[in-house]
Amino acid sequence: MTQTTLYSGSSDKTIRVWISNNGFQTHIVLVTKGSIKSLLISGDLLISAHQDHKIRV
């Protein structure tokens, strides 16, 4: 099975990284002041939109 990475944003203000071949969380990327509303991966960039009306790269 090939390894695939999944990023999840949450109302607990964290962005987490998951590896699909084992289903376990590998680490927390970011903890913010506002809930994460949206994530976008573009090349090597992880872009997130937050409830505090900020976009972070």
State residue 6's pLDDT score.
82
Q: What angle do CA 34, 14, 20 make, to 5 degrees?
A: 145
State residue 22's pLDDT score.
66
Give 33's DSSP letter: S
pLDDT in tens, the chain (57 residues): 446 788 888 888 888 888 776 666 677 877 777 888 999 988 888 899 988 888 888
- On whether the CB atoms of residues 11 and 35 are closer than 8 A, the answer is yes
Strand arrangement, sheet containing 45-50: 36-42, 45-50, 55-56
CA distances in angstroms from 27 to 23, 49, 54, listed in the order given: 12, 20, 23
pTM value?
0.71
State residue 49's pLDDT score.
92
